[in-house]
Structure 1
Amino acid sequence: MQKLQIIKIGGKIVNDGQKLDRFIDHFTQLDHPKILVHGGGNSASRLCKNLDIPIQMNNGRRITDTLTLDVAVMVYAGLINKTIVAKLQEHPCNALGLSGADLNIIPATKRSGTEIDYGFVGDIQADEINTYFIKRLLDEQIIPVFSAITHDEQGQLLNTNADTIASVLAVALAKNYEITLTYCFEKVGVLHDEEDEGSLIKHMTMDYFSELKDDGTIHDGMIPKLDTAFEALKRDIDKVYIKHAQNLTTKIGTELAL
């Protein structure tokens, strides 16, 4: 079975031009067909502050009202997505920037049934992903670059967690490819002490994750990241890693296992 790498890159990397350039250098060295999924929450938060739009978060997830959705679409699907595509073309790596609405690739449903109203936040399922067009792009050696925007097939755009998009894409494509899913951000991996890069956890099981979550070692935005990563492992994804963006082509990082 053909190998496929799905890489998710975090907002603190895409917001820093030099860090993003270094990541792109490493990303383009990967030989196998690959997909890039990006966030951009820091840029969205900065623009919200400049526009006096309140920022609302719950357990590392953004609550998205109408104005916040406008910002998310502009930042994620616009500025960041096209910046990344332009940098990939420079190498050259033929890339296509996409939201979930494009080609109806990632339909979603507006989140409901929760105690907190998350607003225009989309939830997605692997069996709803339109893998046909993704495979066509990969067959043509085009790199799909997905922003964290989906749609409800009724004309409404939705903000969707980029970690979740990467995980669900991996599960949806696992029937056709041997998948390696890697989450890249500004830390060397999952840490016992978030201020100490030397406290890297090289291997993490789901039980150990639960322990560290319960005692507060793992908190905030790292919780949904690991939740989605372990969900992918439970759905038969071959390998899942958490790494620093500069270590993409190395073995340095946290490997997850059930």
Structure 2
Amino acid sequence: MDSLHVIKIGGKVVADEPLLTEFLDDFSNIDGHKILVHGGGNIASQISDKLGVEVKMNKGRRVTDKDSLDVAAMTYAGLINKNLVAKLQARGCNALGLSGADLNAIKAFKRQDAEIDYGFVGDVDDDSVNVPGLSKLLKMNISPVFCALTHDGHGQLFNTNADTLAAVLAHSLSKNFEVTLTFCFEKQGVLADVEDDRSVIPEIDWELYVELKEDGTIHEGMLPKMENAFKALNKGVRQVEIKHPANLLTKTGTILT
């Protein structure tokens, strides 16, 4: 079975030009099939400010209204996605920029919450990914570059969490490929002490994760990333890594088992 690397980078990486340059060099040098998933919420917030679009929050959580969705579509699928594709083409990596709507690649449904109306936020399930279509692209040595937008199949776009997209792509495509899923963010890995970048925990299994969650070592933004990671492992992904983007081609970081 062919190998496949699904790699997710956040908006902080996209906005850091020297770091992004180094990352894209390394991504282009990965042998075999690969998919890049990117965020960009901080850049979308900057564009919203320039356009006078209010960033709306409800109980500390971002809400995507119609104006915010328009900004997300322009920023994620346009500005960020096409710049990444152009930079990868310059490195000889034959990339194709996609949203979930393109090729019917990733369908979603509106998030339902009894307390908060998230607006145009979409969630995905195990049957969301067009596995045959994406597999054909990968077999053609095309590297998809996904922004964090999905669709419902009836003409409506949704804003969807990029970590979740990376995880669902990884475990869905594990039917046809041996998949490694990598989350790249600003830390060196999962840290025992969030203030000490040297305190990387090299390997975490489910039992250790539960302990670290209960004692508060892993909390807040890291929790959904870890939940997505273990869900992917349980559904067929060979390996999950959490690391700094500068270490993409090294063994430095945290491996989940």
SS at match of 2:92: coil
Structure 2 match to 1:15 = 15
CA–CA separation in structure 1 for the residues paired with 2:202 and 2:59: 28
Deviation at 1:156, TM superposition (A): 0.7
Structure 2 match to 1:227 = 227
Larger deviation: 63-72 or 163-172?
63-72
RMSD: 1.6
CA–CA separation in structure 2 for the residues paired with 1:205 and 1:160: 27
Structure 2 match to 1:71 = 71
Structure 1 match to 2:103 = 103
Tell me if the contact between 2:53 and 2:67 (Cα under 8 Å) persists in the aligned partners.
no
CA–CA separation in structure 2 for the residues paired with 1:130 and 1:224: 24
Size of the alignment, in residue pairs?
Answer: 256
1:122-169: CA deviation from partner (whole Å, max 9, x where unpaired): 111232311122111111111100000000111110000111011001
2:42 maps to 1:54: no
CA–CA separation in structure 1 for the residues paired with 2:46 and 2:32: 35
Structure 1 pair 58/14, CA: closer, same or farther in 2 (3 Å)? Answer: farther
Tell me if the contact between 1:45 and 1:55 (Cα under 8 Å) persists in the aligned partners.
no
Structure 1 match to 2:4 = 4
Tell me if the contact between 1:126 and 1:169 (Cα under 8 Å) persists in the aligned partners.
no
Structure 2 match to 1:84 = 84
1:53-110: CA deviation from partner (whole Å, max 9, x where unpaired): 1342767x63212222111111111111001100000011111000000011101101
Q: What residue identity is the alignment partner of 1:235?
A: K
What percent of counterpart residues are identical?
56
SS at match of 2:198: helix
CA–CA separation in structure 2 for the residues paired with 1:45 and 1:85: 22
Deviation at 1:114, TM superposition (A): 4.2
**Mapping 1:136-147, distance limit 5 Å:** 136-147=136-147
Structure 2 match to 1:155 = 155
Task: State the TM-score, normalized to the length of structure 2.
Answer: 0.94
Structure 1 match to 2:218 = 218
Unaligned ranges ≥5, structure 1: none
Tell me if the contact between 2:14 and 2:40 (Cα under 8 Å) persists in the aligned partners.
yes
Q: 4+ residue stretches of structure 1 with deviation over 4 A?
A: none
2:138 maps to 1:119: no
Structure 1 pair 138/214, CA: closer, same or farther in 2 (3 Å)? Answer: same
CA–CA separation in structure 1 for the residues paired with 2:59 and 2:30: 35
Structure 1 pair 40/4, CA: closer, same or farther in 2 (3 Å)? Answer: same
CA–CA separation in structure 2 for the residues paired with 1:251 and 1:38: 22
